[in-house]
């Protein structure tokens, strides 16, 4: 701990009050490990401001003392985006007490919301106002709006509504010097110079602390249909996507791919999770169609679509949910993929995107490369086929040593990324760079692009105090 920290902690305690700061190691410990358990750090204190003015004060005091801050939402990052360092020199800045929905306007279709509201709570709040907040990710019960925006989360509905970035109309941000930028506008058109809010979305807490946002809402679906389809191959999954697009592109709410290997892990490790199809398949698609139009006849249209796909040999078996509970049970099979993999042992995660048309080739080539590198490795590709983002996750061979497997994470990620590069894809689709992937940046985003990013960082945060060690190498 730096020499001036005890005095700083006293001042912070005075300013934030006893519930606004945690310094007992028993209380700070849960904030020092990430969801994947890749990093375990230490911190002298977790700062928990409850209002924007308090965040600004914390940032000002820490900037003056030269104390680095690691902003944290639900701590669900897949890349150690909110991991504190091992030397105990960084404070955690938790936004969890900033958890108010400030305003929802169903006519403007906007929601002003604070950073610490969980995504799930935000979805419910929108629903109460008869609107839809379309962002949906597996960790939405814990992930918070601030983190979701700071990482530009994508998720299941990107195919229809875009990423988090596309849903942001306004932002409130505390800058590295403690100034508050109030950009909480709710305009759909506003061409007034640089689009500053988009600088902070996806900046992973390295340029400022997002304290609140104005999000775009959408009409709530009046008809929703969810189907689980057993298909014969990734190529067949893509053919089904094409068939959906030809049928009614506007109705596709989610189009998720799962491999038989991933589904088998879900069945094995998650209680009450079983695909409702006649026999286990090598590949699956979860298809969700939705429309805000009443009486649109989505159900017969989906039945027709699937019947035709079966006749054409694209789909082997399919089950359409008959109730909300069945819809949730089908979604659970998809959303528990990460948890099931965690229980199966150590995993290396590749969060990659390629043009949608290249997804089958990606899956085949990357599987081949990894199986050659590590015999017995369990390749578990799954994810957002409709937007080209596949989680090409690699679970350790059964019974192997987890540490020895994880020691090869760079080798495995780099091998997969060579295929990704060849297919004109990206090594980071929706999880961000965090602490795990800055080493990849010079290779993928080097030259003028990385130089520009470094200049932006230096201009906004010359002391390098916000989320050090993340995003930039």
Give the interface with ligand MLT as residue ranges (CB under 6 A): 78, 138, 337-338, 349, 351, 383, 391, 393
User: Residue 321: CB partners within 8 Å, gap ≥ 6?
Assistant: 225, 226, 227, 327, 329, 330
Give the N- to C-terminal CA distance of the chain in Å, as an integer: 24
Do the bridges between strand 218-219 and strand 209-216 make them parallel or antiparallel, or are there none, so unpaired?
A: unpaired
Comparison of 43 and 350: residue with beta carbon closer to ligand MLT: 350
Comparison of 391 and 470: residue with beta carbon closer to ligand MLT: 391
- The string over 293-312, giving b where at least 16 C-beta atoms fall within 10 Å of a residue's C-beta and e elsewhere, is eeebebeebbeebbeebeee
Alpha helix positions (H), 19-118: 25-28, 52-65
DSSP state of 453: H
- The string over 238-249, giving b where at least 16 C-beta atoms fall within 10 Å of a residue's C-beta and e elsewhere, is bbbbebbbebee
Nearest to 454 by CA among 445, 179, 60, 174: 445
380 contacts 261 by C-beta, under 8 angstroms: yes
Q: Quick check: helix, strand or coil at residue 444? A: helix
Comparison of 197 and 391: residue with beta carbon closer to ligand MLT: 391
CB of 336 to ligand MLT, least distance (A): 9
CB of 234 to ligand MLT, least distance (A): 17
User: Beta-carbon neighbour count of residue 174 at 10 Å?
Assistant: 27
Comparison of 353 and 393: residue with beta carbon closer to ligand MLT: 393
CB of 153 to ligand MLT, least distance (A): 8
Comparison of 46 and 167: residue with beta carbon closer to ligand MLT: 167
CB of 159 to ligand MLT, least distance (A): 13
294 contacts 300 by C-beta, under 8 angstroms: no
CB of 384 to ligand MLT, least distance (A): 7
Comparison of 89 and 148: residue with beta carbon closer to ligand MLT: 148
CB of 136 to ligand MLT, least distance (A): 10
CB of 338 to ligand MLT, least distance (A): 3
Comparison of 351 and 387: residue with beta carbon closer to ligand MLT: 351
């Amino acid at each position: 701990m730096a020499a001036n920290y005890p005095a700083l902690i006293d001042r912070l305690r005075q300013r934030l009050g006893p519930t606004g700061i945690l310094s007992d190691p028993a209380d700070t410990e849960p904030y020092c490990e990430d969801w994947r358990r890749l990093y375990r750090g230490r911190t002298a204190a977790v700062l928990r401001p409850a209002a924007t003015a308090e965040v600004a004060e914390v940032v000002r005091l820490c900037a003056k003392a030269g104390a680095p801050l690691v902003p944290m939402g639900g701590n669900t990052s897949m890349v150690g985006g909110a991991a504190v360092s091992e030397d105990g020199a960084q404070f955690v800045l938790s936004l969890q007490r900033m958890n108010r929905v400030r305003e929802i306007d169903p006519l403007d279709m906007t929601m002003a919301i604070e950073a610490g509201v969980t995504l799930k709570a935000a979805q419910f709040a929108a629903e109460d106002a008869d609107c839809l907040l379309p962002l949906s990710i597996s960790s939405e019960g814990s992930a918070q709006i601030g983190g979701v925006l700071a990482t530009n989360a994508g998720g299941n509905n990107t195919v229809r509504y875009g990423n988090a970035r596309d849903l942001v109309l306004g932002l409130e941000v505390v800058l590295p010097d403690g100034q508050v930028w109030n950009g909480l506008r709710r305009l759909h058109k506003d061409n007034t110079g640089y689009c500053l809010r988009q600088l902070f979305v996806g900046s992973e807490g390295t340029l400022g602390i997002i304290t609140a946002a104005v999000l775009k809402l959408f009409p709530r679906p009046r008809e929703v249909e969810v189907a689980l389809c057993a298909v014969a191959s990734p190529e067949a999954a893509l053919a089904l996507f094409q068939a959906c697009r030809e049928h009614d592109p506007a109705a596709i709410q989610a189009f998720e791919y799962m491999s038989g290997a991933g589904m088998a892990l879900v069945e094995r490790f998650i209680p009450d999770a079983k695909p409702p199809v006649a026999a286990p398949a090598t590949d699956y698609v979860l298809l969700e169609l939705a429309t805000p139009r009443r009486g649109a006849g989505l159900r017969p249209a989906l039945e027709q679509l699937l019947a035709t796909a079966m006749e054409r040999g694209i789909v082997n078996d399919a089950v359409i949910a008959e109730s909300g509970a069945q819809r949730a049970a089908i979604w659970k099979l998809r959303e528990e993929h990460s948890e099931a993999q965690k229980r199966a042992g150590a995993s290396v995660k590749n969060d990659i995107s390629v043009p949608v048309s290249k997804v089958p080739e990606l899956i085949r080539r990357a599987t081949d490369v990894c199986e050659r590198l590590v015999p017995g490795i369990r390749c578990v590709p799954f994810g957002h086929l409709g937007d080209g983002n596949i989680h090409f996750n690699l679970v350790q061979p059964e019974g192997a040593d987890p540490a020895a497997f994880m020691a090869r994470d760079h080798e495995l990620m780099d091998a997969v990324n060579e295929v990704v590069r060849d297919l004109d894809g990206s090594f980071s689709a929706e999880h961000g760079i965090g602490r795990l992937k800055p080493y990849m940046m010079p290779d993928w985003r080097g030259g003028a692009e990385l130089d520009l990013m470094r200049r932006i960082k230096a201009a906004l945060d010359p002391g390098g105090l916000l989320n050090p060690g993340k995003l930039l190498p």
